[in-house]
Amino acid sequence: MVNKRQVKAVLDQNKCISCGVCGAIASDVFVFDDTTGKYKVQNPYGQWIKVDEQVYQKLKMAEQACPVRCIAIDEKI
């Protein structure tokens, strides 16, 4: 049985500078919003979901790589 983590991705569009780092790292999670000109969290990642270790590591890499720190990956323990 694969151990899964329960996480939620949060991206503050007010701080986002549209650099694209998050989308390059985790394109299945962070997508460009043509309406706002900023990145956003793709559903279902904006709500509490269970993810495997590979997805979790991508989320954490995107969070750490964001130059303006507008991404938070919340985790339920």
CATH of residue 24's domain is 3.30.70.20
At residue 71, does pLDDT exceed 70? Answer: yes
At residue 20, does pLDDT exceed 60? Answer: yes
Domain count, the chain: 1
In this structure, the number of other CB atoms found within 10 A of the CB of residue 10 comes to 13
pLDDT band at 1 (very low <50, low <70, confident <90, very high): low
Which helix (H) or strand (E) segment holds residue 34: the answer is none
pTM comes to: 0.90
At residue 16, does pLDDT exceed 90? Answer: yes
Mean pLDDT score, 31-49: 95
Our CA dihedral for 34, 20, 12, 77, rounded to 10 degrees, sits at: 120
**Which of 24, 26, 21 has its CA nearest to residue 9?**
26
Write down the pLDDT at residue 3. 83
Domain hosting 17: range is: 5-76
Mean pLDDT of the chain: 95
